[in-house]
Amino acid sequence: MNDQVDLTLILPAYNEVKSIGQTLAEARAYLDRQGLTYEIIVSADGTDGTRELVGDLAATDSRLRVIGSPERKGKGHGVRQAVFLAKGEIIGFVDADNKTPVTELKKVLPCFGQGYDIVIGSRGLKTAQIIQRQPFYRRLGAFGFRLFMWGVTGLWSICDTQCGFKFFKRDVALDLFQRQKIDGYMFDVEILYLAQQANYRLKQVGVAWKDDGDSRLVLVGGNIRNFLDVLKIRF
């Protein structure tokens, strides 16, 4: 039996029990209105009850499932494991805290009909709508990181590698995530680097985005790991 669906939506989550219910409600309502066949996979690490809450919801909706563990294994690890389970012709991931609303899919999905292999949301384009900016010190740090990352990877054409709103044709997602190794936040950079090396056709679209003030990045230790991971990607 062919159980393929139009879209797999992946929500990587770490201790997101306060926001995951609302995010899922908005996602299901929007996708239902589009007339798409879809599934939602929540990849939830942590111990705050996120996994259990989604499990209860999944008991009454076969289009929803949850994976993950009490240990924090990393966003890259969670997305990768979900991709391997995905049934969608289009596979993508969005932030579980709804920084970019799922309604921005209206800008993404038509691009696949235009021949693109990958479509990513961007906060750096003029068409983006920044509803709530990050604090200045985080924006300054992000600018410094981008200069370093661009210089190491050569991803000069990608103005925003870290927006959590990325979608792929099925065969492209499986190819990239089978080769992708980074478990932490820099998995986005690795995926885009591998896509560039493979000459996949990529489209950037400006999206709405708001900072929720709840960064999970440890400023010193986390940034050191990120810099080391970028070097691993390149070398």
Q: Which domain CATH number covers 55?
A: 3.90.550.10
> Does an H or E element contain 74, and which?
none
The predicted pLDDT at position 20 comes to: 95
Is a pLDDT exceeding 70 seen at residue 214? no
What pLDDT, on the 0 to 100 scale, is given for residue 59? Answer: 96
Decide: 141 and 226 in contact? Cβ < 8 Å: no
Domain that holds residue 216: 5-234
**φ, ψ at 128 (rounded to 5°):** -70, 155
Q: How far apart are CA 137 and CA 75, in angstroms?
A: 23
Task: Give me the mean pLDDT over the 5-16 stretch.
Answer: 96
| Helix (H) or strand (E) segment spanning residue 206 | strand 202-206
Q: Are 215 and 141 in contact (CB under 8 A)?
A: no
- 153: tokens are 């990877």
Confidence of residue 50 (pLDDT cuts 50, 70, 90): very high
Residue 2: the pLDDT is 63
Which residue type, as a one-letter code, is found at position 22?
Answer: Q
Least confident of 120-129, 135-144, 173-182: 135-144
- pLDDT tier, 1 (very low <50, low <70, confident <90, very high otherwise): very low
Which pLDDT belongs to residue 222? 62
| Of 31-35, 112-116, 130-134, 229-233, minimum mean pLDDT range | 130-134
pLDDT band at 36 (very low <50, low <70, confident <90, very high): very high
Q: State pLDDT tens for residues 70-90.
A: 999 999 999 999 999 999 999
| Percent over 70 (pLDDT), the chain | 94
The count of structural domains within the chain is: 1
pLDDT surpassing 50 at residue 117? yes
pTM for the whole structure: 0.91
Helix (H) or strand (E) holding 147: helix 136-153
Mean pLDDT of the chain: 92
